[in-house]
Structure 1
């Protein structure tokens, strides 16, 4: 994904007055049919729960098509793995509280860090994995417009080319404009 804002759709530029005065390609853009793709069989249990939770919402918003199966599977698998890692971390904290008789904050610290043989505190592998999966999930959320910042950057599919005010579809068989001089091609 490129940094910065996504380009505006051509029909929106036209409605705003085409401030850049560049030629607009109003036929540009893809508007695939809105549909929920089949859930991949390789997803883990938590990922399948996320698939079942998120796909109806994306369909309602017009933000999902059959083309999105792999991207959605990546998001769901990352979200599912994050949920599993969070559960494992919380379980480790609870075990530390129980076995060592320490308070929650101290148990979180003990679960988050280990002491190396040279005496330095080192972040645990579990906490490192949690951080990486949180970043992954956030990145996938952006692709589907599932965060407040990303919602303005996605465009729902309407499975049709946009109809702009004052632009009527060309009647069949009628030759107009330059085509009249070019032999009706």
Structure 2
């Protein structure tokens, strides 16, 4: 959500329910309400990413926050979550190995996190750098699906139908397909 400033605008239906304080005309047909469905998982997902896909997609479906349009974005999120889990597992394995070699836990974490350069300076290890980058990346993806407490107020669930509010008649549906020729409602 880079490039946006301030809070996201409220959905028009919510403005109507709150009384439309701005008194501006509202287009209640605005917005996209795709059909709520779980897209097929991409084949390129890693083992941990596929686990995350299976864990999160039913939850997103229950909340109305997923559609077939979201396959690529959800794949990015799952890959980032899976890669982060793999990196954390590798880091923890390195720490356990150092502990098995006789280091205490704090020294093992430090040694796994830093290496000493030939000039004598401590430099953050590549795995710790990758963990940090994947954490940032995962946090950005969490915002897209409302998966963090701060992001939940910014996402709108799809109800796959336009809202019906008191005093507002739904628009007549135009026929599609063969019904265009056989329906006198044109």
Query: What's the Cα RMSD here?
Result: 1.4
Superposition TM-score, scaled by structure 2 size: 0.88
In structure 2, the residue matched to 1:107 is: 108
Unaligned runs of 5+ in 2: 174-186
Please point out which of 84, 87, 96 is paired with 1:85.
87
Residues 1:126 and 2:109 aligned together: no
Alpha-carbon distance, 1:165 to partner: 1.8
What SS is found at the alignment partner of 1:57?
helix
Residues 1:153 and 2:148 aligned together: no
Hey, what's the Cα distance between the residues in 2 that align with 1:21 and 1:122? Answer: 58
Alpha-carbon distance, 1:130 to partner: 0.1
Please point out which of 5, 9, 12 is paired with 2:11.
9
Alpha-carbon distance, 1:26 to partner: 1.2
Alpha-carbon distance, 1:171 to partner: 7.1
Residues 1:60 and 2:75 aligned together: no
Alpha-carbon distance, 1:98 to partner: 1.2
Superposition TM-score, scaled by structure 1 size: 0.88
1:158/1:56 CA distance change after superposition, 3 Å: same
In structure 2, the residue matched to 1:30 is: 32
What SS is found at the alignment partner of 2:8?
coil
**13-22 or 84-93: which moved more?**
13-22
Alpha-carbon distance, 1:24 to partner: 1.5
Hey, what's the Cα distance between the residues in 2 that align with 1:171 and 1:42? Answer: 43
Hey, what's the Cα distance between the residues in 1 that align with 2:56 and 2:129? Answer: 26
Hey, what's the Cα distance between the residues in 2 that align with 1:58 and 1:139? Answer: 17
Unaligned runs of 5+ in 1: 173-185
Alpha-carbon distance, 1:15 to partner: 1.8
What SS is found at the alignment partner of 1:152?
helix
What SS is found at the alignment partner of 1:149?
coil
Please point out which of 37, 51, 60 is paired with 2:53.
51
Alpha-carbon distance, 1:17 to partner: 2.1
Hey, what's the Cα distance between the residues in 1 that align with 2:75 and 2:68? Answer: 12
Hey, what's the Cα distance between the residues in 2 that align with 1:169 and 1:61? Answer: 24
Hey, what's the Cα distance between the residues in 1 that align with 2:5 and 2:52? Answer: 27
Alpha-carbon distance, 1:40 to partner: 0.1
Residues 1:135 and 2:110 aligned together: no
